[in-house]
A and B are shown apart, each in its own frame.
Chain A
């Protein structure tokens, strides 16, 4: 990453911790209040490609970690600047008990299905999202299935193993 951005980020967001793991992966850990402004900021700074929004369930710590992974598109149609190989991993934590966060769809339009997915699979509510309706699932699950306390093996035993085989009545 251009050192400039790191410094600028540190200056603009003094509470965000910036670490670089490998030469191409930069991790920015921020509190949840500054995430939206950070996202808007890095978008302007060139990281205009939101590749992924993910969520990690840190059940022992009682928190969900929202992960935004960004990388820059090319500035120029032809020329590669060298910044494109950088992945900016922006992380923030929200309480597991009340999993709610603001939507980022007004900054990145393609965040919409990702947030829908996290809402369905983790039960994280995104305020301001216009379409938080089910995406993948057919059945309703007591616990959203991607949370750590949802044991899929036990669930399979309880549900699918209880469906009886077809008995031949005549026999």
Chain B
């Protein structure tokens, strides 16, 4: 049989995002896969060195278009650590609720991509519709549909508008009411089980060696979640569970995603119940004169794909000296994907990739 080099993406139906994989194949078996990122490289971390601390907030959220909120959070936490800014308690709750909404929205987007790729168009349409309802909430809260620019150092940018609590509850109830339908049409569907189980299987030891986090790791059985192991915002204020599964394949990963969404919704309800009144914004200094003392900080949070970190170095100026983001898709998309695709079927390439939930702009930055 002849070896064949195959370009998968960036313009390809099975590809979500501007990303590309070069496959060396023999027949329909992949011998070697090489991830080829860089289609979305903008040099964020370089650009941030040219902008003041606060000017970087509109910039950082563009790092991940699916879920800009966790990028904001990681950067804000790093800046707060460096500058020693306190965040009011209510703002911590607002942040948590906001981030969990983002997780729900992001997972629904992932579900759309996955279901679409597997050919479950009905479910894909539902997921995208429900994500739009979450975006409506974001629009109401922050004034933006996709890029929210809501978390600021010292709190959040605006308080909840009037009646927003009820809106969250109504929207989430209407989405939650569809969970049985989702289950019937997709999660408990034998076709999904057949197509996904055993695909992109990785065991826990390997996942740890390759730096996996998020649902990729949790699908192998470890209850590792930054929200639990290093709590931030208000995640330690309420009771919640980390959903895990043990098989480590695409089927498990998607199930973890589903359970996480449900857990997030429950968590939002709990947070809403015990949210205190008070201030939500502790003003940082004048943006034109804000200098942060020399130092460095690493802050991390759990995005919908895994551990999101921001390493920020200040040399005492009004601009960061160096910023480096640790994005979950980076190990997932660059190493784990390559390893998982070895000896896979060409037909399973998209399945594997999307089940890892690789978001290209996050890798390229």
Contacts and interface: CB of A to CB of B under 8 A. Distances in A.
In the complex, A touching B (Cβ < 8 A): yes
A146 B46 contact: yes
B65 interface: no
Nearest to B246: A77
Given A110-B331, A113-B335, A69 B38 contact: no
B223, B298, B324: most-surrounded residue (chain A CB, <10 A): B298
Given A51-B211, A77-B244, A136-B41, A25 B322 contact: no
B324 A54 contact: yes
A52 interface: yes
Size band of the interface chain B makes with A: 35 or more
B300 A152 contact: no
B307 interface: yes
A155 B300 CA distance: 33
A87 B300 contact: yes
Contact of A48 (B208, B300, B326, B364): B208
B311 A110 contact: no
A113 B331 contact: yes
B311 A69 contact: yes
Contact of B298 (A25, A50, A109, A137): A25
Interface stretch (B124-132, B156-164, B224-232): B224-232
B224 A74 contact: yes
| Secondary structure of the B contact surface, majority rule | mixed
A152 B335 CA distance: 30
B38 A136 contact: yes
Interface in B191-242: 208-211, 213, 217, 221-224, 228-231
Contact of A138 (B38, B211, B229, B244): B38
B179 interface: no
B45 interface: yes
Interface string A98-127: 000000000011101110000000000000
Given A22-B81, A24-B230, A146-B45, A152 B322 contact: no
Interface stretch (A10-18, A30-38, A78-86): A78-86
A56 B313 contact: yes
A41 interface: no
Contacts of A87: 298, 300
B302 to A, nearest CB: 12
A132 to B, nearest CB: 14
B224 A73 contact: yes
A52 B224 contact: no
Given A56-B321, A77-B244, A113-B330, A49 B208 contact: yes
B175 interface: no
Given A73-B224, A89-B296, A146-B46, A84 B335 contact: no
Contacts of B321: 56
Contacts of A54: 311, 322, 324
B298 A108 contact: no
A57 interface: yes
Interface in A141-162: 145-146, 148, 150, 152-153
Contact of A85 (B43, B46, B230, B313): B230
16 contacts: A25-B297, A48-B208, A50-B211, A51-B211, A51-B309, A69-B298, A85-B229, A110-B210, A110-B211, A110-B335, A112-B334, A134-B38, A136-B38, A137-B41, A145-B43, A146-B46
Interface of A: 21-22, 24-25, 27, 48-52, 54, 56-57, 67, 69, 73-74, 77-78, 80, 84-85, 87, 89, 108-110, 112-114, 134-138, 145-146, 148, 150, 152-153
Interface of B: 37-38, 41, 43, 45-47, 49-50, 81, 208-211, 213, 217, 221-224, 228-231, 244, 295-298, 300, 307, 309, 311, 313, 321-322, 324, 326, 330-331, 334-335, 364
